[in-house]
Amino acid sequence: MDLSATGDILLSGILRGGLFVLIAMGLSLVFGVMNIPNFAHGEFYMLGAYFSYYAYAVFGLNPILAIMAAGAGGFVCGAIMERTAFRSLRVRQKTNWVMNSFLLTVGLSIVLQNSAQALVGTKFMGISQYWQGSVAIMGMNVSIDRLAGFGVAMATVLLFWIFLTKTKTGNSIRAVSEDESGAMLVGINLNRVYTLTFSIACMLAGIAGAALLSINPAYPTMGLAPLYKSWFIVILVGMGNVGGTIIGGFIVGMVEALSYYNLGAGWQDVISLLVIIIILLFKPSGLFGKDVKGVWER
């Protein structure tokens, strides 16, 4: 492997990884705070792609505004979903919450996917690019679009991180993820935190879908691949570890770029999974996982 190939792999791994981080973060957040293993997370990615398509290609908004619109759309849809489905389940069922909420998200995923298909049909809705042109980095041409997508992802992750660690609301989310009853004792409104958490997670997925629109056109079943990739990451770093997803996202991105370069398209899932399975054999709780035993019981 010569130097330019290494650069090639490194760059494409980083660009891939950045967006994986953005998607996986929402998944990890929802699991960490609400203990929901979300199977419908990919559907919010899909919704984001559609929102940005309509905002950019149909209503002619500026790309940044289109991506923000997709984020806002994801936020609202997430809030509706949480208020209607998950709150009803939470009120009714206390035992076996992890498994039941997982199955609930499976149902939601079917509903969202097929609603999209019923409303807009099965044709690919893509755009050629948000921004024109390309730049040369380390001897290879990278379209500005991909760089901008990466930039959007990183900026969102940064903003979200600041929100989580520096603001009072962000701190209350973290408090709930650490100790639910403790958080309730100090006067945190759990229902409000849950709704906010779920909406933010959906917003992050929506932004990712919008940022990748020029590479992956909007399509009703487009959510599955990003869903299981973000699950790779979340399992790899340990479930519910939001900070760890940043590193995990780049690892998975890099593994994929490597396998893509060496074996061609189609094998990346096999390779990244083998890597993950091997890691988990030695460290079952994930790379940075703590003992999350308690969570599984609920």
Residue 211 engages another protein in binding (rule: CB under 8 A): no
Number of residues this chain uses to bind another protein (CB under 8 A): 45
Among residues 10, 76, 80, 98, the one that binds another protein under rule CB under 8 A: 98
How far is 113 from 105, CA to CA, in rounded Å?
Answer: 12
Q: At what angle do helices 41-53 and 224-237 cross, to 10 degrees?
A: 130
Q: Where are the beta strands (DSSP E) in 37-173?
A: 134-137, 140-143
Q: Which of 115/169 has CB closer to another protein?
A: 115
Q: Pick out residues in 23-82 that bind another protein (CB under 8 A).
A: 37
How far is 8 from 254, CA to CA, in rounded Å?
Answer: 11
Residue 270 engages another protein in binding (rule: CB under 8 A): yes
Residue 194 engages another protein in binding (rule: CB under 8 A): no
Q: Which of 95/132 has CB closer to another protein?
A: 95
Contact in structure between 156 and 72 (CB atoms under 8 Å): no
Residue 102 engages another protein in binding (rule: CB under 8 A): yes
Residue type for 3, please? L
Q: Which of 198/232 has CB closer to another protein?
A: 232
157 closest CA partner among 21, 293, 2: 21
Residue 202 engages another protein in binding (rule: CB under 8 A): no
Residue 111 engages another protein in binding (rule: CB under 8 A): yes
Q: What is the DSSP letter of 234?
A: H
Q: What is the DSSP letter of 218?
A: B
Phi, psi of 73 (to 5 degrees): -60, -45
Site string for another protein, 233-262 (x = CB under 8 A): --x---x-----------------------
How far is 276 from 172, CA to CA, in rounded Å?
Answer: 32
Among residues 5, 137, 138, 277, the one that binds another protein under rule CB under 8 A: 277
Among residues 232, 233, 237, 242, the one that binds another protein under rule CB under 8 A: 232
Q: What is the DSSP letter of 82?
A: I
How far is 111 from 97, CA to CA, in rounded Å?
Answer: 21
Q: Which of 89/190 has CB closer to another protein?
A: 89
| Interface contacts to another protein, rule CB under 8 A | 37, 85, 88-89, 92-93, 96, 98-100, 102-104, 106-115, 117-118, 224, 228, 231-232, 235, 239, 266-267, 269-270, 273-274, 276-277, 280-281, 284, 293, 296-297
